[in-house]
Amino acid sequence: MAKGVGVFDFAWRRVPMRWRLPGRRTRRVTAALLLVVVLLNQVTPGAWHSRSARGSSGPGEICAEHEPGSRGDAATASLRARLIAVLEERSRDVDGASEASNPTAPTNNSPQRLDDTKFTVVLNTFQRRDLLKKAVAHYARCGDVAEIRVVWSEQVPAPTENDADARLYFPNPTAKRSDRPKIKYDPHPTTSIQNRFDVKGVTTTAVFNIDDDVRMPCASLAAGFRAWRRNRNVLVGYFPRLHVWRKEMCQHQYVWDTFSMWRHGEMSIVLTKAAFMKSEYLRLYTERLPDDARKVRIARFPNPDTVYSPSLSALLVTLPVTFTSTGNCYKPTLTDSRLTLFFFTISTWTRGRTAKTWRCNFW
Amino acid sequence: MDARKNCEDVAMQLLVTAVSREPPVWVKQPTWHFVYAKLINIGVAGISKGANHHDLRGKCVTDLSRILLNGQDADEDGNVGGEKFGDTPLIASRLKPWRDKKY
C-alpha cells in the first residue's frame, strides 16, 4: 500500500473503472446489498425493531398482560429497599460481633475491614480436572489476587496439599513472591450450580467469579479490577449479553451471540462466567434469593405456539433516531452512522414510546 | 435453577441490578484472546452447548424477574409487580467497553 493512502482509497482503486460508474451492474450490486440488509433485518431484528417490540401491547394483542407505564418500577424500588436492608443488617451484625470480641477496637466505617487492594478469585469447576489445573495455575500467576477459592462440588474428596499430585492442584509458580495467592478448595455437599455463590469467609471487598474454562489474561484481569474499582456497585465482566422483551412470544429473548449483540448495540447482563463484584453480593444471593427462584421450572406461557413473524411494515425506512434507556425512561437520540445503515425497519415509537419519553424530563 | 442447571448468573445479575439500579460494565478482552478462547474451547462439553440453551435463558429472565418482583409493592396505578409479563429489574445500556479515563 502506498504511503499516506488510506485503506479505503486503496480498496477503491482496486475496483475496476467500469464498476465505479453508476451503470447497470452497480445498480444490481446495490440492490443485492440492500436485499441482504433487509433480509438480515428479518432474521435478527436490530435495536430499532426491538425498541418497538419492547413497548406496549394494546388490548387484543397476544401478551395483553403487559401494560405500558407499569414496568414494575414500584416493585423494583421495594425489592431494592429490601435487598439493601439485608446488606445493612448483615454488616451491622459483623460490626457487633467484632466489637463484642474486641471491645477496645475503634469502630471503623468499613464494617468488615476487608482487603481493598486485592481480590479473591472464586473458581467454579465441575469434573473438568484438566481445565481446573490449567486455570488454577494461570490465576496463581496473576497479580492482585489475594486468594483462589475453588468451588468443589464434585462428590469426591477435594485435593489437599498432602496428595501425591498436589503439585498440580496447588501450583507454586511464583514461590519467591511474598504475596503468592493461597489456594483453597471448598467442598460442597451438593452438586448444585448455585454453590458458586456459596463462598464464606472472603477477605477482600472484590470477588472475581470465573469458570474453569476461561483463562483471562492477567493484564485484562488487572484492567477489569481497575474498572471495578470505579464501578463498585455493579457487575464488571467480560461477556455482555442482552435481554429483549418480545411481546409476540410474551417473554424475554436472550441475546448472546456477537453479531446480534452488535446489531442491538446494547447490553444489560454480564455473565458471572467472568465478572468482578462486591463480595457482599455473594451473601445477598445465598440469603435473599427466594426458594422458588432456586428451583424454578419452565412456566407455561399464554400462547406458546405463537412465534415471531416478520411483518411487511418492517421494510419501511424510518428516521435515524434511537432510544437510549436510562432507568425506565427512553431518551431519543440521533444514532451513529453504524446504526443508520440498518434502519430499514419501522418502529411504533409514535404509538407507544412518546408518552413515556415526554413524561421523563430530559429537556 | 437446580432443575435447569442454568441461569444462576442471570439471577445474580438481576439481584445486583436491583440493588444498584445501574447497568453492568463491560470490560473488553483482547480480540486475540477472544478468538483464541473460541478456538481452544471447540469441542469442550458444557452446560451452554445445548440446542435450546438460549431459549431457556430467555425464559429464565422472564421467570426470575417475575419471581423476584412478586410480592413487592404496587405502584400508584395499582399494578402489582411481577404480575405483568415483561417487568424486570434489568437495565440496558449502550454496548460500549469500559475505558480508563486519563485525567
Please, which contacts does A34-39 make with residues 24 or more away whose CB atoms are closer than 8 Å? Answer: A37/A341, A37/A342, A37/A344, A38/A315, A38/A344
Q: What distance in Å separates the CA atoms of residue A122 and residue A236, rounded to the nearest whole number? A: 15
B26 pLDDT band (50/70/90 cuts)?
very high
Residue of chain A whose Cα is closest to the Cα of B44: A213
Residues of A whose CB is below 8 A from B68: 79, 290, 293
Average pLDDT for B67-74: 69
Predicted TM-score (pTM) of this structure: 0.66
Residues of A whose CB is below 8 A from B27: 220, 223-224, 227, 236-238
Do the Cβ atoms of B13 and A235 come within 8 Å?
yes
Which of B4, B13, B60 best tests the A interface by mutation, with the highest count of A CBs <10 A?
B13
* pLDDT reported for residue B84: 59
Q: Sketch the domain layout of chain A as residue ranges.
A: 74-113, 116-235+272-291, 310-363
Average pLDDT for B26-43: 84
* pLDDT reported for residue A344: 33
Q: Which CATH number fits domain A116-235+272-291: 3.40.50.300, 3.20.20.70, 3.90.550.10, 3.40.640.10?
A: 3.90.550.10
Do the Cβ atoms of B27 and A79 come within 8 Å?
no
- CB-nearest to B25 from A78, A236, A266 is A236
How far CA A178 is from CA of A143, A151, A172, A182, in Å, comes to: 12, 25, 12, 11
Mean pLDDT rounded to a whole number for chain B: 76
Q: What distance in Å separates the CA atoms of residue A278 and residue B15, rounded to the nearest whole number? A: 12
* pLDDT reported for residue A87: 80
* pLDDT reported for residue A98: 47
Which 41-60 residues of chain B touch chain A by CB within 8 A?
41, 44, 46-47, 54-60
Q: What distance in Å separates the CA atoms of residue A54 and residue A68, rounded to the nearest whole number? A: 10
Higher pLDDT, A258 or B71: A258
Average pLDDT per consecutive 10 residues, chain A (363 residues; last block may be shorter)? 76 80 77 84 51 42 50 73 78 53 42 80 86 89 88 85 80 65 86 82 91 90 92 90 78 82 86 90 76 45 29 33 44 42 36 40 37
* pLDDT reported for residue A154: 83
Q: Sketch the domain layout of chain B as residue ranges.
A: 1-42+50-94
* pLDDT reported for residue A122: 93
